[in-house]
Amino acid sequence: MQLPSGTINDSYEKDMAIIRTRWQWVMFIGFVVLIFVFPAFPFVSNYLLRIINNIVIAMILVLGLNILMGYAGQVSLGQGAFMAVGAYTVALLGHKLGVPFWLSLPAAGLSAGIVGVIFGAPSLRVKGVYLALATIAAQFIILWIVRHVHAFGGVSGVPNPPAAIGTFTINSQLSNYYLIIVVAIIMTFAAKNIARSKIGRAFVAIRDNDLAAEVMGISLFRYKLLAFFIGCFFAGIAGGLWANLIGHVQDEQFPLINSIWYTGMIMVGGQGYTLGAIIGTFLLLGVQEIVVLYGPSLSHIPGVGGSGYAGFSQFLMALIIVLFIIFEPRGLAHRWQIFKSSYRLHPFSY
Amino acid sequence: MAVSQHKKPLTFNKLGVTFTRTTALSQQSFHFQRQSILDGGLENMDEKVTLKVENISLSFGGVKALDEVSLDVNGVEILAVIGPNGAGKTCLINSISGFYRPQTGSIYFNGHQVNKLSPHKIAEIGIARTFQNIELYTGLSTLDNLMAARHFHINYGTLAAAVYFGKSHREEIKHRKICEEIIDFLEMESLRKKTVGSLPYGQRKRVELGRALALEPKLLLLDEPMAGMNVEEKEDMARFIIDIFEEKKIPIILVEHDMGVVMDIADRITVLDFGIKIADGTPDDIKANPMVIKAYLGEEFTAASAA
Ligand SMILES: Nc1ncnc2c1ncn2[C@@H]1O[C@H](COP(=O)(O)OP(=O)(O)OP(=O)(O)O)[C@@H](O)[C@H]1O
Ligand SMILES: [Mg+2]
């Protein structure tokens, strides 16, 4: 890691800290304050809050997928389904048993994590494309179950009683914004910390050289499954927040295509960078929302059919992903790292 | 990338070991002597068997890679395993580290039956290794490669990892210090934060040795640690192996083709040929053994050793 010039490591504590300089602290605190006062800005409409809520929920899921895919190197095309597990857990616990949200949200993470471990078990035998196929199975099996088994709500889905703090219910976009933001900050820290802990190192070891990792004392069995648990735990938390935001959970809210886009967000942002998961999600979903907003004007372009905007956001997202795969397969966060170290003048670059 | 490392003098005295370089020999023009073991160091040594390999056989389809091979590592010693290409040396190392499962026979280490354990358990009971074709975690820095090898020594759980405060933080610092000591020991200070995938071959070999040490092994398996190195790098590596052995008192199984190095630093030598153990003894025994000379060393070596 390159440091700003003048920053000196005189202890391992300092060398290991994420936020190093006073300036970084100022920026960090300023950013958190900005997030919290953001809804007060005059240009922030309910519509914009809804978009941001959706993106931040996806970001939580992608942070988890980044641990699973970016760090541990295990592909999953079933994250949407694991999000469904979390969403249904919160809705069913709240609707049928009256469990409060602060209990059902962790339960959503746990249940999605456990289901993720089951569908992640093939990772003990196969890798790459085969693992991707095995995890797609989660998508079809889980969604079939919630759609056709009556206990899970069936075709009409499950209504979700909104979360409440005392008598205050979290059912507006604004109140959900604060709920989602607080959870997202906690999950971002957790993701970053897991990544730099012994667990993150074990995951990267497995990604880079699984056979050596096993011989050097890392149980592949344990850590591959743990990667699925953590990755799907994040998806479950995202699902739980989604249930509260949307108010009524249904199977078609979690299509396979979403699971595919999530992996695209990791690619664009940069595999194995926490920051990458964040910018990848905001970039791709931001593009999607912009198209939804301005897409209809596409039909004014001569030669493009009147319904040209239909599917145009997918067109753009796919194009962005392909361009990244060709020109910057290591993602934006990797670019950012290179940029940061090139403008810094730290004399001892070790 | 320029590495300006502090170099110890090539001739020095450490723990009663004379370590000298002679330039008389031809291509690999250096020579090590470990005198402590040869003259009278033996009585201090723990004579109990640390590793016992009993009649292991391993075949791949029709190829018998190992055929009823037995060997012991007695106390703290350097046991060299030599033999021509394809003799089964790597298969032997792989069997001891659990990478391969011999079809018959058994391996015991400090009271554990190794060939019944999974590889990560074998690491936990204290067997560490390096690989003939470097197998590092290419995306991690040198430091993190070493930290990853301390995995099961580092004591905190998933939740503590997510919080990274208090115990997990203290544990990280404690083990970071241990890894820094190894980095100093192997003179890798300048590589500390470099991604190992970008390091040149010789340095990666050294990082791999560091990673094996970070496991705090009670037995070290080195599969051709000097292969493909230039003379200078070989000298460093030989010096590190001797230092590890002398300072950390770790028994070592050394697979190596460089006869000069093997004859100088090994206490005993086991010779494999086509998966069969054909000889076992001190370097002098091996030099004199007609079977070995015929199967492996050939005229070239007898001439060299006579010189
Ligand atoms: N995974 C494998 N599948 C099939 N055959 C194998 C496998 N591993 C080793 N062998 C065979 O077993 C025999 C012994 O191989 P091994 O790698 O142990 O030789 P070695 O003594 O280490 O040789 P070298 O000095 O070239 O490293 C060879 O004939 C090799 O082809
Ligand atoms: Mg070999």
For B35-80, the pLDDT digits (tens) are 444 333 344 444 577 899 999 999 998 889 999 999 999 989 999 9
Residue B24's pLDDT is 32
Q: Which residue has the tokens 């810094």?
A: A344
DSSP three-state, residue B72: strand
Cα B194–Cα B198–Cα B202 angle in degrees, nearest 5 = 95
Which of A289-310 are b and which e, b meaning 16 or more Cβ less than 10 Å from the residue's Cβ? bebeeebeebeeeeeeeeebbe
Element containing residue A324 per DSSP (H, E)? helix A312-327
Residue A122: exposure state from Cβ atoms within 10 A (0-12, 13-18, ≥19): middle
Question: Would you call A216 and B136 a contact, using CB atoms and an 8 Å cutoff?
Answer: no
Distance A283 CA to ligand 1 centre (A): 50
Ligand 1, pocket residues at CB < 6 Å: B 60, 63, 65, 83, 85-91, 132
Q: Nearest C-alpha to atom 16 of ligand 1 is from which residue? A: B88
pLDDT band of A322, cuts 50, 70, 90: very high
Decide: pTM greater than 0.90. no
Site to substitute for ligand 1 among B63, B69, B255, B276, most atoms within 8 A of C-beta: B63
Angstroms from B264 CA to nearest CA on chain A: 29
Residues of chain B contacting residue A226, judged by C-beta atoms under 8 Å apart: 158
Note whether residue A61 is domain-resident: yes
| Most confident by average pLDDT, B24-38, B99-113, B289-303 | B99-113
8 A C-beta contact, residue A252 and residue A263: no
Using CB atoms, pick whichever of A197, A199, A217 lies closest to residue B124: A217
In angstroms, the CA B233 to CA B239 distance is 10
Chain A residues touching residue B169 (CB < 8 angstroms) = 13, 16
Which residues on chain A are in Cβ contact (under 8 Å) with B131? Answer: 212
- Nearest Cα residue to atom 6 of ligand 1: B60
Q: Minimal CA–CA distance to A119: which of A236, A203, A199, A229? A: A229
Measured between CA atoms, the residue of chain B closest to residue A210 is B137
B6 pLDDT exceeds 60?
Answer: no
B294 to chain A, closest Cα gap in Å: 36
Query: What band does A343 get if pLDDT is binned at 50, 70 and 90?
Result: low
- The phi and psi torsions of B249 (rounded to 5 degrees) equal 55, 45
Give per-residue pLDDT as tens, A86-138: 999 999 999 999 999 999 999 999 999 999 999 999 999 988 899 999 999 99
Which of A40-54, A278-292, B102-116, B280-294 has the least mean pLDDT?
A: B280-294
Domain extent for A75 = 44-345
Flag whether pLDDT at B158 surpasses 60.
yes
The strand ranges marked E within chain B are: 12-14, 17-19, 49-60, 63-74, 78-82, 104-109, 112-113, 127-129, 219-223, 252-255, 268-273, 276-281
pLDDT of residue A175: 95
Residue of A9, A183, A216 to mutate when probing chain B, most B C-beta within 10 A: A216
For A298-323, what is the mean pLDDT? 80
Which helix (DSSP H) or strand (DSSP E) does residue A165 occupy? Answer: strand A163-165
Please name the residues in contact with A297: beta carbons below 8 A apart, sequence gap of 6 or more: none
Q: What pLDDT shows up at residue A156?
A: 87
pLDDT per residue as tens digits for the range A59-91: 999 999 999 999 999 999 999 999 999 999 999
What's the CATH code of the domain at A54? Answer: 1.10.3470
In a domain, A121, yes or no: yes
- Between A65 and B228, the higher pLDDT residue: A65
Q: Please give the mean pLDDT across all residues of chain A.
A: 90
The predicted-structure confidence for B13-33, as pLDDT tens digits, reads as follows 333 333 333 333 333 444 555
Cα–Cα distance measured from residue A155 to residue A91, given in angstroms and rounded to the nearest whole number: 15
Residue % of chain A over a pLDDT of 90? 72
Q: Is residue A200 part of a domain?
A: yes
Q: Which of A194, A211, A350 sits opposite B135 (nearest CB)?
A: A211
Predicted local distance difference test score (pLDDT) of residue A308: 66
Confidence of residue B298 (pLDDT cuts 50, 70, 90): low
Domain assignment of residue A37, yes or no = no
Q: How far apart are CA B211 and CA B123, in angstroms?
A: 12
Whether residue A193 and residue B154 make contact (CB cut-off 8 A), yes or no, is no
pLDDT of residue B34: 55
- Please give the distance, rounded to the nearest whole angstrom, from the Cα atom of residue B269 to the centre of ligand 1: 20
pLDDT of residue A6: 57
DSSP string, A80-110: HHHHHHHHHHHHHHHHHH---HHHHHHHHHH
Q: How many domains does chain A have?
A: 1
* CA–CA–CA angle A118, A121, A125 (5° rounding): 165
Over the stretch B244-264, which tens digit does the pLDDT of each residue have?
Answer: 999 999 999 999 988 888 999
Mean pLDDT of A27-54: 93
